[in-house]
């Protein structure tokens, strides 16, 4: 079975996915790492050098290839994989797709100071500290992106794990494992 974890940046897809793959005895694949192998550049470098469009088209190609693979694995997707309709279609058709739905406040807490690796997280972008007013407008920008994507995640999720309380990634992985088991493997 191919399992894809989707969710916003900072929702724990990579850590939870790795743990989940161990529980299921599946291999683990990180979509951003596969993109990096294919393009010989990290997602952040691709954004910087060629722009988001180039990153998104490589992301789609790699996702399609994985969707066609005859193997058991857990795939941690990048948070923006749902931006493109063709990716949502691939996720619906070729994966059991699990949405890690973590409240905005929690992802914002986890991501503070993380924008170097995440070009679309704009709270702190490597520039000098911002005055409080501009901090809050950047946070709004992130929240707008988060809110807009919620519907896109919902559109392709077979299972939703809504993580209301902050909890460790091991506990989240166990909850996701149980959801998959309850669904009948």
- Could you list the residues that contact ligand S3P (CB under 6 A)? 9, 13, 32, 43, 78-80, 118-120
User: Looking at beta carbons only, is 44 or 185 nearer to ligand S3P?
Assistant: 44
**Nearest residue (CB) to ligand S3P, 43 versus 63:** 43
Report the C-alpha gap between 179 and 185 in whole angstroms: 9
> What distance lies between CA 139 and its chain's CA centroid?
19
Gap between the Cα atoms of 102 and 61, Å rounded: 27
What does DSSP assign to residue 132?
A: H
Q: Tell the smallest beta-carbon distance from residue 168 to ligand S3P (Å).
A: 18
CB-wise, 24 or 63, nearer to ligand S3P? Answer: 63
Task: Kindly state the smallest distance separating residue 35's Cβ from ligand S3P, in Å.
Answer: 7
Residue 21: helix, strand or coil by DSSP? helix
Closer Cβ to ligand S3P, 145 or 180, answer by number: 145
Rg (CA), the chain: 16
In the chain, the DSSP E strands lie at: 2-6, 27-30, 73-76, 96-101, 159-162
- Closest approach of Cβ 133 to ligand S3P, in Å? 25
In whole angstroms, what is the distance from residue 170 CA to residue 176 CA? 10
For the CB of residue 47, give the shortest distance to ligand S3P in the complex, in Å: 7
Q: Are the C-beta atoms of 26 and 180 separated by less than 8 Å?
A: no
Measured from the CB atom, the residue of 43 and 153 that comes closer to ligand S3P is: 43
> Minimum distance from CB of 95 to ligand S3P (Å)?
16
Question: Cβ of residue 79: shortest distance to ligand S3P, in angstroms?
Answer: 3
Residues β-bridged to residue 4: 75, 97
Which lies closer to ligand S3P via its Cβ, residue 26 or residue 153? 153
Locus of tokens 């702190």: 124
């Amino acid at each position: 079975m191919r399992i894809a974890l989707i969710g916003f940046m900072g929702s724990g897809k990579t850590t939870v996915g790795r743990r989940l793959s161990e529980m299921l005895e599946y291999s683990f694949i990180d979509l951003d790492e596969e993109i990096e192998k294919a393009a010989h550049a990290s997602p952040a470098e691709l954004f910087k050098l060629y722009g988001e469009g180039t990153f998104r088209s490589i992301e789609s190609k790699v996702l399609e290839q994985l969707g066609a693979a005859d193997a058991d694995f857990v795939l941690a997707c990048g948070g923006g994989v749902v931006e493109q309709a063709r990716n949502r279609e691939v996720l619906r058709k070729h994966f059991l797709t699990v949405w890690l739905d973590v409240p905005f406040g929690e992802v914002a807490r986890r991501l503070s100071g993380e924008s170097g690796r995440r070009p679309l997280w704009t709270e702190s972008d490597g520039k000098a500290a911002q005055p409080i007013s501009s901090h809050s407008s950047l946070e709004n920008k992130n929240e707008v992106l988060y809110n807009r994507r919620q519907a896109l995640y919902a559109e392709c999720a077979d299972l939703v794990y809504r993580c209301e309380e902050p909890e460790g990634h091991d506990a989240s992985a166990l909850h996701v494992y149980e959801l998959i088991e309850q669904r009948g493997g």
